[in-house]
Amino acid sequence: MTFLYLLLVSFLLATQGFAYPQPLPLTGPAHFTHDPAIIYNPQSDYYYVFSTHGGVARSRELLGPWTAVGQYLPTGCSIVTSNAGHCDTWAPDVHYLSGMYYLYYAISGFGSQNSTIGVATSPTMEYGSWTDHGTVFSSVDGDTFNAIDPNLIVDNGTLLLTFGSYWADIYQFPLSPSGLAPLTNPPNLTWLSFNSTPPQSEEGAFVYQPHGSGYYYLFYSSGTCCGFVAGDLPAPGNEYKVFVGRSESATGPFVDQNGTPLLQTGGTEVLASHDNIYAPGGTSLFWDPKSKKDVIAYHWRPFNNIQGDANSMLGLNYVDFSSVSGAIPWSGI
Ligand SMILES: *[C@@H]1O[C@H](CO)[C@@H](O)[C@H](O)[C@H]1NC(C)=O
Ligand SMILES: *[C@@H]1O[C@H](CO)[C@@H](O)[C@H](O)[C@H]1NC(C)=O
Ligand SMILES: *[C@@H]1O[C@H](CO)[C@@H](O)[C@H](O)[C@H]1NC(C)=O
């Protein structure tokens, strides 16, 4: 009852800057987590979280204890770009597809459009089990988009890769059935979301169909993600936060709660700084078969101990996609 109340209040009051619920209490040693990708493996009975810079954590239960278990590409990857030959992977995205786990990642650099989305596969997700397949899709200086922050959704058998961008924000294109390359060359891009107001560029998209829902929700983060200096933070509200829009199709068009298209600077805020939680974002979602709930994962920094970008940690909340009464179910966190 209290929980439902929190969800409802957090949604209804979101735009007025009222409190969001605290992240669920997690156990285990805190370790660096940024742009978390979360999944459950029913075979091994482990939950996994994959992070920017390659780290992996796993746990028997959703609430922990979470334990760091090394890197998903411990010996590097095959992608060499002009500014990131060392294969520092960003913003992983993980899904299970017919007997295999697919992990998409991005290689880029701050302020660069020389970016590549790559993919690795594993039958188990265990340490050392990932095979890197290299580049899926790239962007270069001068493109309208930026090939970062990949996210896969399988829509009635069609693989769709949503990505981007900071440059003109969020795009999507169909992948070949292998999941390793675009379906067509060049990819058939659909523009999904755009905010023209600096510094509110959008990135970190995740298209999610809640368990049992006929709707598709496009989550994304906007604002300043990183490079925080305590005492010299962005103007309040310009730091990372999470928005959502909804569609009856995985390919859009997506609109926010007021019906404003995401392509016209729409977006309903569903998570932002609150209490000691600073600059939450980089979301992924999944259906947890144990709790039988939709779960959102994100990163955040403790406002009282930001430590630049070093102290970035995992946040989890259950999501109630029907917390608002009336004809239109909507999302709360
Ligand atoms: C992108 O790559 C091109 C070609 O290698 C290079 O000339 C350019 O300086 C790179 N841009 C950035 C921002 O790294
Ligand atoms: C799903 O794909 C099948 C085969 O391509 C098609 O016949 C069917 O209409 C599709 N269903 C929906 C809901 O789009
Ligand atoms: C590209 O996608 C659009 C929208 O999904 C579709 O109507 C069009 O036929 C596609 N074009 C090609 C060349 O596949």
- pLDDT of 110 > 90? The answer is no
In whole angstroms, what is the distance from residue 105 CA to residue 267 CA? 25
pLDDT attached to residue 28: 95
- State which of 14-28, 86-100, 270-284 shows the largest mean pLDDT: 270-284
Residue nearest to atom 7 of ligand 2 (CA): 156
Evaluate whether residue 180 is within a structural domain: yes
In whole angstroms, what is the distance from residue 188 CA to residue 111 CA? 25
Evaluate whether residue 233 is within a structural domain: yes
Alpha helices in the chain (DSSP H): 2-12
Evaluate whether residue 13 is within a structural domain: yes
- Model pLDDT for residues 295-308, shown as the tens digit of each residue: 999 999 999 999 98
Active site residues: 35, 203
pLDDT attached to residue 86: 61
Q: How many A from CA of 162 to the centre of ligand 2? A: 21
Q: How many A from CA of 281 to the centre of ligand 2? A: 34
Domain that holds residue 60: 2-319
Contact by Cβ (8 Å): 244, 208: no
- Model pLDDT for residues 42-86, shown as the tens digit of each residue: 999 999 999 999 999 999 999 999 999 999 998 878 776 554 456
Cis-peptide, bond into residue 123, ω within 30° of zero:
no
Evaluate whether residue 51 is within a structural domain: yes
Q: How many A from CA of 217 to the centre of ligand 3? A: 21
Evaluate whether residue 325 is within a structural domain: no
Copy the structure tokens of residue 218.
Answer: 């496009």
Give yes or no for residue 184 CB within 6 A of ligand 3: yes
Q: Which amino acid, one-letter code, is at 41?
A: N
Ligand 3 pocket mutation, candidates 188, 189, 191, criterion most atoms within 8 A of CB: 188
- Give the DSSP letter string of 271-325: E--BTTEEEEEEEEEEEETTTTEEEEEEEEEETT--TTTT--EEEEEEEBTT-S-
* Total domains in the fold of the chain: 1
- pLDDT of 323 > 80? The answer is no
Give yes or no for residue 141 CB within 6 A of ligand 1: yes
Q: How many A from CA of 174 to the centre of ligand 3? A: 10
- pLDDT of 2 > 50? The answer is no
Give yes or no for residue 156 CB within 6 A of ligand 2: yes
Give yes or no for residue 114 CB within 6 A of ligand 1: yes
Q: Which amino acid, one-letter code, is at 220?
A: Y
Residue nearest to atom 9 of ligand 2 (CA): 156
Contact by Cβ (8 Å): 35, 51: yes
Give yes or no for residue 98 CB within 6 A of ligand 2: no
Q: In what order do the strands lie in the sheet with 190-193?
A: 151-155, 158-164, 170-174, 190-193
Segment 274-291 shows an average pLDDT of 97
Q: How many A from CA of 144 to the centre of ligand 2? A: 32
Give yes or no for residue 291 CB within 6 A of ligand 3: no
Give yes or no for residue 249 CB within 6 A of ligand 3: no
- Give the DSSP letter string of 217-250: EEEEEESB-S---TTSPPPTTSB-EEEEEEESST
Copy the structure tokens of residue 20.
Answer: 């969001």
Ligand 1 atom closest to 141 (CA) = 1
- pLDDT of 10 > 80? The answer is no
Percent of the chain with pLDDT over 90: 76
Element counts in the chain: helices (H) and strands (E): 1, 19
Copy the structure tokens of residue 278.
Answer: 């600073």
Segment 223-235 shows an average pLDDT of 93
Contact by Cβ (8 Å): 117, 138: yes
Q: Closest by alpha carbon to 79, among 116, 49, 47?
A: 116
Evaluate whether residue 174 is within a structural domain: yes
- pLDDT of 185 > 90? The answer is yes
- Domain of 33, CATH number, reads 2.115.10.20
Segment 141-154 shows an average pLDDT of 96
Give yes or no for residue 112 CB within 6 A of ligand 1: yes
Evaluate whether residue 333 is within a structural domain: no
Copy the structure tokens of residue 105.
Answer: 């990642």
In whole angstroms, what is the distance from residue 194 CA to residue 15 CA? 19
pLDDT attached to residue 228: 94
Ramachandran quadrant class, 144 (left: phi over 0; alpha: psi -120 to 50; beta: rest): alpha
Copy the structure tokens of residue 311.
Answer: 């102290």
Compute, in degrees rounded to 10, the torsion defined by CA atoms 107, 110, 112, 113: 50
Q: With cut-offs at 50, 70 and 90, classify the pLDDT of residue 332.
A: low
Mean pLDDT score of the chain: 89
In whole angstroms, what is the distance from residue 126 CA to residue 109 CA? 28
- Closest ligand, as measured to the CA of 155: 2
In whole angstroms, what is the distance from residue 112 CA to residue 82 CA? 10
Residue nearest to atom 6 of ligand 1 (CA): 82
Q: With cut-offs at 50, 70 and 90, classify the pLDDT of residue 333.
A: low
Cis-peptide, bond into residue 253, ω within 30° of zero:
yes
Contacts of 178 (CB under 8 A, 6+ apart): none
Q: Closest by alpha carbon to 234, among 243, 249, 224, 244?
A: 224
Q: How many A from CA of 68 to the centre of ligand 3? A: 42
In whole angstroms, what is the distance from residue 47 CA to residue 272 CA? 25
Segment 160-186 shows an average pLDDT of 96
- Closest ligand, as measured to the CA of 154: 2
